[in-house]
Amino acid sequence: MILKRIRLISSLLLSACLIASGAQPAGAGEKQSPGQLAAEMIGTGNTSSAAAQNKRYLIKLAPAPAAELARTPASLSQMLPDAVPGLIRQIPRFGLLAADLDAKGVQNLRNNPRVAFIEEDQLRYLSSQYEPYGINMVQADRLPDLHAGEVTVCIVDSGYDLLHEDLSGNNVDGVDIIGSGAWYEDTNKHGTHVAGTIAALNNQVGVVGVLPGGSINLYIARVFDSTGSAYVSDILAGMAECVSPGVGADVINMSFGSEESSASEETAFRDIANQGVLLVAAAGNSGTTAYSYPASYDSVISVAAIDQNKNRASFSQQNDQVELAAPGVNVLSTVPSGTVTTPFVLSQLIVDNTLYAALNMQGSPYAEVDGLLADCGIGAAPCPDAVGKICLIERGGSYFWQKVQACEDGGGIGAVIYNNVDGTFSGTLSDASTFIPSVSISRADGLVLLGAIGDEAHLSVGFYLDYQKMSGTSMATPHVTGVAALVWSYHHTTCSAAQVREALRMSAEDLGPAGYDISFGYGLVQAENAKLYLDDLCGGSSVARADLDGDGDVDGRDLALLAGFFATAASSADLNRDGVISDGDLQEFAAAFGTVPVE
């Protein structure tokens, strides 16, 4: 009783200090603990967490007791009574036990001759991957890059970190023009950041790019040094390498520019475009209506920058050469290994292809999970419908760690706690050991998600070191470059660069005033929409694609080939070019069977 009174007095003193210091007090049923933020509680009497008293330990038995326990598991209570109350599991094969123990229990077991040693049961974390917001905004996550190997993208920039964990697996080559290093080095960060937006790998770490499958052909023309400047002659030398016979770039990314035009540059770019190459460049970062070059040449797609809310970035140029818009504010991407000294934690929640702002719970493990969204109320008890799902839980009534554990106890794989008042909040799991990723979101988003119960959800909490957020039309440009390459890869042999450019313009999401405007051009580039537009414009007939052996008709030999392609999920079996090998391709073939292709 005395202990309870001491705890109550301490709680009242803390509340008084918080109010006196101007801090916002916790809401009803909540309590602040020293040095912690918004750990939620049940009632006012219970002010401590069991997890703060106990830790989870691994107990290694001596050989003879281990053998005895393997033969007679029930003998544990006589052999190691201190381990029984908190026992989690026995692993007889390795002579191990796992148990929650307090300090006294640990000491007793260390003094027990039947115990070889005891150590903390360490947590191991899944690797986590973060999808930058721009990938979803440009619909790149809706269009698989199964055919990306048919296209080559040239990046004219400051180099490429070939050893980066998110870039090393790409099919990449390059050339150094300026003679101060190799193409696979980057002393400026800019080129590596641009490359990550285009082609960071889907490898369970870091981020993903527009083309994450590792099959896109990349060519790096290193023309910028550590100062971030380059002469037009260096740029043109790099461009010449991009379109050389051994490279044959289809799309060239140019995340650079200045307000002075060059007749030599304009002529060279026009010639390159006339050869069937798509040129994409940054509109400029002065925030004025001035032209920036090379973006403002007619042969080049000029890309403006928008933020996560689809508003024009304040620095983005506005003029009648702006053609498309793409995400360019606080874009997370790759930077050369070792150049970032302060790591950071990022959280992400995507439900039904919509990105929601999420903050990681302090103490959440780093992990990435996918599952259906489940409604778990306020998380006061194990969620009854959470197995393999991501739990949506309302704030209030109990500690955050208890809500997360209620999700875990119901078989949930991730927890999303939404506010019970307007706005967002940060939360901590105190010292509790939880094993699933957990985040907080606003009340408004939580109420929206209550209407999405049962929909597909993606949740990640990750720790990032060789990554950085950058802003600029330079960051917007690779989104368009990546989408252009992705869309073109579906119809590379039947569609021209001019037709791809038309598809990008005509399928863009209109932003700002209706129709074309100088801030957003034709609008936000959209990969899936552009692919569908291109299907009708120049995609070629399904009958022609069904002629797999190219002999001029669709017959039994094509059927035999299709069966082999279908069984191995080869891209040749994707007759309807939707990025998926499925029954739809069989139906496409059936409709074409017995006919002669006509183009």
What local confidence, expressed as pLDDT, does residue 590 receive? Answer: 73
Q: Are residues 438 and 507 in the same domain?
A: no
The closest alpha carbon to 44, from 402, 405, 427, 397, belongs to 397
pLDDT digits (tens, 9 = 90+) for 217-229: 999 999 999 999 9
Indicate whether 11 pLDDT > 70: no
| b (16+ CB within 10 A) / e for 402-413 | bbbbbbbebbbb
Give tens-digit pLDDT for 278-336: 999 999 999 999 999 999 999 999 999 999 999 999 999 999 999 999 999 999 999 99
Same-domain status, 174 and 216: yes
> Is pLDDT at 564 greater than 50 in this prediction?
yes
pLDDT surpassing 60 at residue 543: no
Task: Mark whether 82 and 112 lie in a shared domain.
Answer: yes
Residue at 354 is within a domain: yes
Cα-trace Rg, the chain: 29
- Residue range 457-514, pLDDT digits in tens: 999 998 788 999 999 999 999 999 999 999 999 999 999 999 999 999 999 999 999 9
CA-CA distance, 468 to 533, in Å (whole number)?
A: 34
Q: Are residues 181 and 236 in the same domain?
A: yes
Confirm whether 537 is domain-assigned. no
Write the CB contacts of 417 (distance below 8 Å, at least 6 apart in sequence): 361, 379, 393, 394, 395, 400, 403, 404, 427, 438, 439, 440, 441
- Say what the pLDDT of residue 587 is: 66
Per-residue pLDDT reduced to its tens digit, 57-96: 889 999 988 888 888 888 888 889 888 899 988 888 778 8
Domain boundary pick from 464, 487, 517: 464
> Per-residue confidence at 37, pLDDT binned at 50, 70, 90?
very low
φ, ψ (nearest 5 deg) of residue 71 = -75, -35
The string of pLDDT tens digits covering residues 98-151 is 889 999 999 999 999 999 999 888 655 444 678 899 999 999 999 999 999 999
Q: Taking Cα atoms as reference points, which of 484, 560, 498 lies closest to residue 527?
A: 484
* Residue 574 included in any domain: yes
pLDDT number for residue 462:
83
Side-chain-side CA neighbours of residue 380 (13 Å) = 6
233 and 323 assigned to the same domain: yes
Q: Judging by DSSP bridges, how do beta strands 30-31 and 39-40 pair with one another?
A: antiparallel
**Sequence letter at residue 234:** D
pLDDT at 508: 98
CATH number at residue 112: 3.30.70.80
Strand arrangement, sheet containing 300-306: 171-176, 217-222, 152-157, 251-254, 278-282, 300-306, 322-327
Residues forming beta bridges with residue 169, ordered by sequence position: none
Q: Which of 338-347, 356-365, 558-567 has the lowest mean pLDDT?
A: 558-567
Tokens describing residue 501: 């450019």
CA gap 69, 79 in Å, rounded = 9
Same domain for 143 and 254, yes or no, is yes
- Check residues 296 and 48 and name the one with the higher pLDDT: 296
Asked whether residue 589 carries a pLDDT value surpassing 80, the answer given is: no
Q: Which of 147-151, 194-198, 387-391, 586-590 has the lowest mean pLDDT?
A: 586-590
The pLDDT-based confidence of 545 (bands split at 50, 70, 90) is low
Region 408-418 average pLDDT: 95
Per-residue confidence at 594, pLDDT binned at 50, 70, 90? low
Return the minimum-mean-pLDDT range out of 191-205, 469-483, 530-544. Answer: 530-544
Contact 238, 223 (CB under 8 A): yes
Domain C-terminal end among 409, 430, 464: 464
**Three-class SS of residue 542?**
helix
Q: Is residue 598 part of a domain?
A: no
* More confident call, 581 vs 417: 417
How far, in Å, CA of 525 to CA of 509, rounded? 7
pLDDT the model gives residue 570: 65
Same-domain check for residues 156 and 301: yes
Q: Residues 368, 458: one domain?
A: yes
Percentage, residues of the chain above pLDDT 90: 66
Mean pLDDT of the chain: 85
Give the residue-averaged pLDDT of 410-429. Answer: 94
Domain holding 372: CATH number?
A: 3.50.30.30
Q: Both 413 and 489 in a single domain?
A: no
Average pLDDT over residues 449-456: 96
| 278 domain residue, yes or no | yes
| Residues 357 and 447 occupy one common structural domain | yes
Number of domains composing the chain:
5
The gap from C-alpha 278 to its chain's centroid, in whole angstroms, comes to 27
pLDDT tens profile 345-366: 889 899 998 889 899 999 999 8
Supply the CATH number for residue 144's domain. Answer: 3.40.50.200
pLDDT for 10 equals 32
User: Which pLDDT belongs to residue 223?
Assistant: 94
11 domain residue, yes or no: yes
Confidence check: pLDDT of 200 > 80: yes
Q: Is residue 9 part of a domain?
A: yes
What is the extent of the structural domain holding 421? 344-464
Given 428, 447, 464, which residue is the final one in a domain?
464
* Percent of the chain at pLDDT exceeding 70: 84
Grade residue 5 by pLDDT with cuts at 50, 70 and 90. very low
Full-model pTM: 0.71
Q: Choose among 483, 472, 132, 69: nearest CA to 306.
A: 472
- Residue 21 pLDDT more than 70? no
* 578 and 522 belong to one structural domain: no
DSSP letter at 421 equals S
Same domain, 437 and 482: no
Confirm whether 534 is domain-assigned: no
